[in-house]
Amino acid sequence: MKVKSLLKNKDVSHKLIILATFFLLVIFFSIMKPSYASYDNIMTILLATCVNGLLALGCSFVIITGGIDISVGTVMTFSCVMSGTAFTVWHFPIWLAILFGFLVGTLCGAINGFAVAKMMLPPFIATMAMQMITKGLSLVVSGIKPVYFTGADGYQNIAIGEFLGIPGFYNAIIILVIAAIVAHILFSRILIGRYDLAIGSNEEAARLSGIKVNQWKIGIYALCGLFCGVAGLVMSSRLNSAQPQLGPGYELEAIAAAVIGGNSLTGGEGSIVGTLIGALIISSLTNGLRIMAVSTEIQSAIVGLVLALAVFFDQMRRKKG
Amino acid sequence: MAGELIKMEHICKEFPGVKALDDVTFELKAGEVHALVGENGAGKSTLMKVLTGVYTKDSGKILLNGEEISINNVRDAQRKGIIMIHQELNLMNHLTAAQNIFIGREYKTKAKVFLDAKSQNQEAKKLFERLNQDIDPTVKVGDLTVAKQQMVEIAKALSYDSKILIMDEPTAALTDNEIEDLFRVIRMLREEGRAIIHISHRLEELKQISDRITVMRDGGYVDTVNTKDTSIDQIIKMMVGREIFVTKQDAFTQKDNKVTLEVRNLNAGRMVRNVTFQAREGEILGLAGLVGAGRTETARAIFGADPHESGEILVHGKPVKISSPSDAVNAGIAYLSEDRKRYGLALGLSVDENVCMADMTDFLKALVFINFKKSRDNTTKQKESLSIKTPSIKQKVKLLSGGNQQKVVLAKWLTRNSDILIFDEPTRGIDIGAKNEIYKLMNQLAAEGKTIIVISSELPEIIRTCHRVLVMCEGRITGEVTGDEIDQNVIMGYATKREA
Amino acid sequence: MKKLLAVLLTLTMVAGAAVGCGSKSEEPAKSEPAQNEDASAQAPADADTSAPAADGEEPYIAMIALGFSHQFWQAVKSGADQAAADLGVKITFEGPEQETMVDKQVDMLKTALGNNPSAVCMAAIDNEAVAGILQEAKGKGIKVVGFDAGVGEAESEAKCSTDSLAAGALAAEHAAELLGGKGKIGIVGHSQTVVDAVERVVGFKDKIAADYPDIEIVDEQYGEGDHLKSAEVAKSMMQANPDIQLIYTSNEGACVGAYNGLKEANKLKDVKLVGFDSSAAMKEAIKSGEIAGAITQDPVGMGYKTIETAVKLMNGESVESFIDTGCYWYDASNMDDPKIAPLLYD
């Protein structure tokens, strides 16, 4: 009885569908290549999910308002470049440099929010401007060279140290899990999540209910920026350096994860769990295709196909309801 | 007349949790105006959506000229000559009248490449002339009045040579003159042998325009009667299954009650000019006037939804600065918009989420976490006291009927403890039974000491609900009537009292 | 807060100024390592540059690279700047942000031609896309020199670049030596469209196929030169073929990425890594022996020779149609060698 009503609930059923998709993928690849399901490889997949997963989490909040943030990739890069600069040039202690990176990300997000809410720029345009600005600034600040975190002992361990000494269990995975739990709580139990949905569902009704829509929007974009900052930490820690030219392209993968996870680009609908599974689907798919030695160009085509199918099924589901 | 043009037999349609249509039968003859009435949620819209291919039926048959047909989408219906003119008109505001009419079937030059605007405009002009309408085919539809937009829709239907026109609440936003013009056009279409299905809550006008009336109730078919053989009371009885008595409101007796809202010299754009009035605790104050008199604009300015240039707003005697809805909400003012779907509700969210939307601070624990239990308890309480009909408070509000949606909006503001409630067209699109419930709620709230301001274009509604009525015309308050003075003719007099 | 912003702004401006100054420095930078032996040997820099200066203003050469932000291009630029200062010409150096933005590069070329340059030096992302424009330019007497990836043969009068096939073969020789002539190899490439990148892989594979029958190339994948993606590629490659003994990577991003991937998978000890190009991270890993070695091109020399060739053409001198700017194998043993060290950039 309970199960049946759960299945009837559309939100739950969608999560089950993508979860099933995810497991089908895993089973398929495991049969094709038994080494796919090995502990090491699962950890590899999880680690590969981290950066994109963090970006997608941030993106989800914005997408649920009915907006879009295409600056997540370069904001991520910019925040870790700034963090690296703070450490190497201004000699901040490393913890402060990391926090500074988060602050830069949050600030970029807040500026996005300000541009969208107060300056009335369409989100696509506002964040495209931010994408270009942060891309340029990253190169300028770094002098077009990687910023190395050498001298920060154990900086690489932040992402690829082993959690509690469990072999192969990287800290980055824990960072993603914690970030996802925080995001889930923010989304489902805290005001910002509720207003996120309300704004996405009907912005004018939200405003006329006395919700300070503009302030919340700035907050939501800033939150997205903060997630970019955290992604920047994981990224730079894995590479032990901030690579200033990276970033463009990452936003598309993040948006793809959010969309596969069932976040409607028109807003008002979505979930954090969905986003996380969406990110997992992308990384497990790419990993599986690589392990099967599928050539790179076909990999890209297959991921594109999965994205299209995911959105198609989502539309069908919506239409039915 | 050779039998039925359309016959719908034993139509059933189920949505999750709701049986929207249960074995409904409906017949339509050529050359008749057939009214379809029923309370909201009775299934009229669903039935028409099945006929026009928006929804597909679960079971039942549709016969056109005696032959069974299948309608799977809107285009199917269009091809068979069935067209619906929706309450929210389906026009593209940025395109011209002619472009709207011929959208998807554009006139092209001989080479079949270039658009032929000239002959398209001429053709549109011809259609307008047939309808006796003075509409420029090249004007953007967004610049036309609602009544003219409706004519564009009708012209579009004519251009398809539709045999069956379904009009959903066509008169809801029209002035009396415009309604007369529309009825003239409807009669003309009837003379041409077309069949018109007319959905409306205004029973008086159905009496004028329709030949037959079909009544639906709770998703089922009740009866079809000849208009001339029946009375409004009988129809109402069929609709609600009970008799309804309308009583006029007594004059407001407690004149010494505290003034809760005072507006002084409020100016906001062209539509709100020097508006000054007071409203008291426990009072139901009406704002009457014709469409476009500035009543909604006044309400929106008071609520901070639109900015105002000058004027003072005092709540409980204290001046308050209102520059956004959140200021107004904090001052205890609530606004129930005339367009619930656009301005009042987050349709994709649940009843619970909508009810507590205006005031989450009361539903938090440890300052940040949402207290779901408290929120659910409140919503359940509101659901019971307002008798909101919903299978669950987790139901998305878009699945509720208009009356119940209105109650959800009301519940939102009652949860916020707002003591000044502005109802803008509170019963638009709401059936009679639910209407009376809303009136009763307004009385009850006033008795509890709240101040109620009602904006309505339906004079009977103003007359029956208000203690005192302010009449507006062209952005000014042109008259005030109280108690026994409240009378249709007096109000209409003030409402047309233009500036010299 | 305000303070922070101030710091940020100042920094931005200082950095901007530094970059700006760099590009139009009038005097030859003293520390420029352009005069490595090869370059200086055939660079009669101040011998005869009379013609360009004759008509009063400095002749202008437009240089358009595949990219801009990568350090390789910055090294090419420094060589070109050096040559420009030595030979008394004015140059501009541009390149799109990503090495895939064909359209942007075409726009850059068109804009540059609008400024009436005496010569255009170009590394085209897509030869066909610029062929017509370059032909037209050539018709107007503008000299066209290809560098690095170069342009189509019909359009250019000379090409200064690393012979990528030879470079790939050189990498293969060293890889074979590392494996003792026997083993399994995986390849992490960075592009399947840029000729140069393809040749690095083809040259490698051809050499292995021709001379080392006991070596098998078991997998070949591409990571767009993105550090993170290349890391994932290398890890999944190891997952699929745990018996790979050596990974060959075709550029810096691929190499550092694969290095990180192997490090994460704890495979650095088991798998030898052969790279391409250089960076601070690569240098460090090579010094410590974690990366076996890599091929470096001579970007500074490439920049220098490109401008030099263009100036020669402008003066009516004849030049060879292909000028190999050279490549070198470097590892922990020779990276401090005075011949190699200047070619390694950060």
Local confidence pLDDT in tens for the 500 residues of chain B? 446 889 999 999 987 656 789 899 999 999 999 999 886 667 888 899 999 988 888 999 999 988 999 888 888 888 888 988 887 777 888 888 998 888 878 888 877 778 888 889 999 999 999 988 899 999 988 888 888 998 998 998 888 888 999 998 888 778 888 889 999 999 999 999 999 999 887 777 888 899 999 999 878 899 999 999 988 778 877 876 654 445 566 656 666 788 999 999 999 988 899 999 999 999 999 998 876 788 999 999 999 999 999 999 999 999 999 999 999 999 999 999 888 888 889 888 999 999 988 877 778 887 788 888 888 999 999 898 888 888 889 888 988 887 888 899 999 998 888 999 999 988 877 777 778 888 888 988 998 999 999 998 777 788 888 889 999 988 899 999 887 778 777 887 787 766 54
Q: Say whether B342 and A198 touch across the interface (CB within 8 A).
A: no
Residue A22, min C-alpha distance to chain B (Å) = 27
Beta bridge partners of C144: C120
**Quick check: C2 pLDDT over 70?**
no
CA distance A69 to A316: 26
Which pLDDT band holds residue C16 (cuts at 50, 70, 90)? very low
- Contact (CB, 8 A) for C258 and C324: no
pLDDT of residue A141: 93
Region C153-161: mean pLDDT is 86
Q: How many CA atoms lie within 13 A of B494 on its CB side?
A: 21
- Contact (CB, 8 A) for B320 and B331: yes
CA distance B81 to A206: 41
A40 touches chain C (CB under 8 A): yes
Residue pairs between chains A and C whose CB atoms are closer than 8 Å: 107
Residue pairs between chains A and B whose CB atoms are closer than 8 Å: 77
Q: Say whether B326 and A212 touch across the interface (CB within 8 A).
A: yes
Q: Which of C19, C264, C270 to probe the A interface (max A CBs under 10 A)? A: C264
User: What is the DSSP-derived secondary structure letter of residue B86?
Assistant: -
Q: Which of A7, A65, A189, A208 to probe the B interface (max B CBs under 10 A)? A: A208
Q: Say whether A189 and B303 touch across the interface (CB within 8 A).
A: no
**Quick check: C51 pLDDT over 60?**
no
CA distance C280 to A242: 12
**Domain spans of chain C?**
23-162+298-326, 164-297
The secondary element (H helix, E strand) that includes residue C202 is helix C195-211
Count CB atoms within 10 A of the CB of residue A98.
Answer: 26
Among chain C residues, CA nearest to A159: C264
Q: Say whether B305 and A207 touch across the interface (CB within 8 A).
A: yes
Of C74, C227, C239, the CB nearest to A239: C227
Residue A320, min C-alpha distance to chain B (Å) = 10
Residue A108, min C-alpha distance to chain C (Å) = 12
Domains of chain A, each with CATH number or no CATH: 42-320 (1.10.3470)
Q: Say whether B346 and A205 touch across the interface (CB within 8 A).
A: yes
Q: Say whether A189 and B370 touch across the interface (CB within 8 A).
A: yes
CA distance B497 to B169: 28
Q: Do domains C23-162+298-326 and C164-297 have the same CATH topology?
A: yes
Residues in chain C within 8 Å Cβ distance of A44: 232, 235-236, 239, 264-265
Among chain C residues, CA nearest to A284: C236
Among chain A residues, CA nearest to C73: A144
Of A8, A190, A268, the CB nearest to B346: A268
Residues of chain B that touch chain A, judged by Cβ-Cβ distance less than 8 Å: 16, 303, 305, 324-326, 328-330, 335, 337, 342-349, 353, 357-360, 364, 368-370, 372, 412, 416
Instruction: Please return the burial class of C333, using the count of CB atoms within 10 Å of its CB with bins 0-12, 13-18 and 19+.
Output: exposed
Buried b (16+ CB within 10 A) or exposed e, C288-308: eebbbbbbbbbbbbbbbbbbb
C-alpha distances out from residue A128 to A112, A230, A254, B280, Å: 9, 21, 15, 52
Of A47, A170, A241, the CB nearest to C281: A241
Q: Say whether C240 and A33 touch across the interface (CB within 8 A).
A: yes
| Rg of chain C on CA atoms, in Å | 21
Task: Please give the ipTM for the structure prediction.
Answer: 0.77
A171 touches chain C (CB under 8 A): no
| CATH of the domain spanning B4-240, picked from 3.30.70.2860, 3.40.50.10470, 3.40.50.300, 3.40.50.700 | 3.40.50.300
Top-confidence residue, C113 or A63:
A63
Q: Would you call A80 helix, strand, or coil by DSSP?
A: helix
Nearest to B200 by CA among B214, B189, B188, B190: B214
E-assigned strand segments in C1-142: 60-64, 90-94, 119-122
Of A40, A145, A235, the CB nearest to C239: A40
**Quick check: A254 pLDDT over 50?**
yes
Computed over every residue of chain B, the mean pLDDT equals: 86
Q: Which of C236, C247, C256, C344 to probe the A interface (max A CBs under 10 A)? A: C236
Task: Please check whether the domain covering C23-162+298-326 is classified as CATH 3.40.50.2300.
Answer: yes
- Contact (CB, 8 A) for B469 and B481: yes
Of A8, A202, A211, the CB nearest to B347: A202
CA distance A90 to A82: 10
Q: Say whether B416 and A210 touch across the interface (CB within 8 A).
A: yes
Residues in chain B within 8 Å Cβ distance of A191: 360, 364, 368, 370
- The highest-level CATH class for domain C164-297 is alpha beta
A145 touches chain C (CB under 8 A): yes
User: What is the DSSP-derived secondary structure letter of residue B341?
Assistant: I
A160 touches chain C (CB under 8 A): yes
| CATH of the domain spanning B259-495, picked from 3.40.50.300, 3.30.70.2860, 3.30.750.24, 3.90.870.30 | 3.40.50.300
**pTM more than 0.95:** no
E-assigned strand segments in A134-245: 147-148, 241-242
Residue C242, min C-alpha distance to chain A (Å) = 10
Among chain A residues, CA nearest to B322: A210
Q: Which of A209, A317, A320 to probe the B interface (max B CBs under 10 A)? A: A209
- Contact (CB, 8 A) for C322 and C55: no
Of B342, B344, B370, the CB nearest to A191: B370
In chain A, residues 215-254 whose CB comes closer than 8 Å to chain C:
235, 238-241, 243-246, 248-249
**Quick check: C36 pLDDT over 50?**
no
CA distance B29 to B27: 7
Q: Say whether C236 and A148 touch across the interface (CB within 8 A).
A: no
Of A145, A238, A286, the CB nearest to C260: A238
Residue A223, min C-alpha distance to chain B (Å) = 16
Of A190, A198, A208, the CB nearest to B349: A198
User: What is the DSSP-derived secondary structure letter of residue B213?
Assistant: E
- Contact (CB, 8 A) for C273 and C289: no
For B406-458, the pLDDT digits (tens) are 899 999 998 888 999 999 988 877 777 778 888 888 988 998 999 999 998 77
Among chain A residues, CA nearest to B303: A208
**Quick check: A72 pLDDT over 80?**
yes
Among chain B residues, CA nearest to A197: B349
Residues in chain C within 8 Å Cβ distance of A287: 232, 236, 239
- Contact (CB, 8 A) for B415 and B359: yes
Of A190, A206, A212, the CB nearest to B346: A206
Query: Which chains lie within 8 Å of chain A at 3 or more CB pairs, if any?
Result: B, C
Long-range contacts of C151-159, Cβ-Cβ distance < 8 Å, separation of 24 or more: C151/C122, C151/C123, C151/C124, C151/C127, C152/C124, C152/C127, C152/C128, C155/C127, C155/C130, C155/C131, C156/C122, C157/C313, C157/C319, C157/C321, C158/C309, C158/C313, C158/C319, C158/C320, C158/C321, C158/C322, C158/C323, C159/C321, C159/C322, C159/C323
**Domain spans of chain B?**
4-240, 259-495
